[in-house]
Amino acid sequence: GALALLLSGCPQSAHDGDGAKASAERTSKERSDEELFKEAMSTSDLKERVKKLEIVLSHREDPDEILGLKRQLLLAYAELGEIEKIEALAKDIPLEEDYPSAEIRNAIAYTYAEKGLKLDRARVLIMESLSALDRMESDGTLPPRMDPEEVRGYYLDTLGWIDHRSGRNKEAAAVLEEARLS
């Protein structure tokens, strides 16, 4: 559906040859869900974003749309530091070797580091993200809108924070310097 297109980041017009017809055929619930999703993703109020995403998620049946919404919810929960909600939702999200999964791993790892919890698990997750980034960069599967050096900087920042919280301050300083140069 159109919501899946929004979740994938693809412009709707690229996929529905006759936009007016497609729009007329969508139900008012689908249109309101699309608007709610757009509002959720444009607000800086994370609690409001979560509330709206949860509503949209409760209306969806398409597995791809559900997965996309769960990923967005997990990222919002991570920004809020909601460990329990992150862990519960992560059980429903397959972590593959793609960019969205690397982003999810980074968010979980950073949240663990922020809370000073499960630092060994956080390190595994961020190393998997860095490995996936290297692979995507070398085989050309990194989404075109992504700057690999910018993404690497974010991931290295997470690794540095994990090292710092683990008491490895010398390693943290080196990693954070590398992140700054990315």
The CB density around residue 84, as the number of other CB atoms within 10 Å, is 8
Nearest to 104, CA basis, from 132, 145, 84: 132
Average pLDDT rounded to a whole number, residues 51-57: 95
Backbone angles phi, psi at 14, to 5 degrees: -75, -10
Provide Rg for the chain, Cα atoms: 18
Interhelix angle for 63-80 vs 83-90, to 10°? 160
Close Cβ partners of 153 (under 8 Å, ≥ 6 residues apart): 179, 180, 182
Task: Tell me what pLDDT residue 35 has.
Answer: 92
Nearest to 148, CA basis, from 129, 162, 163: 129
Name the pLDDT band for 33 (thresholds 50, 70, 90): confident
Task: Give me the chain's average pLDDT, please.
Answer: 86
pLDDT digits (tens, 9 = 90+) for 74-95: 999 999 999 999 999 999 999 9
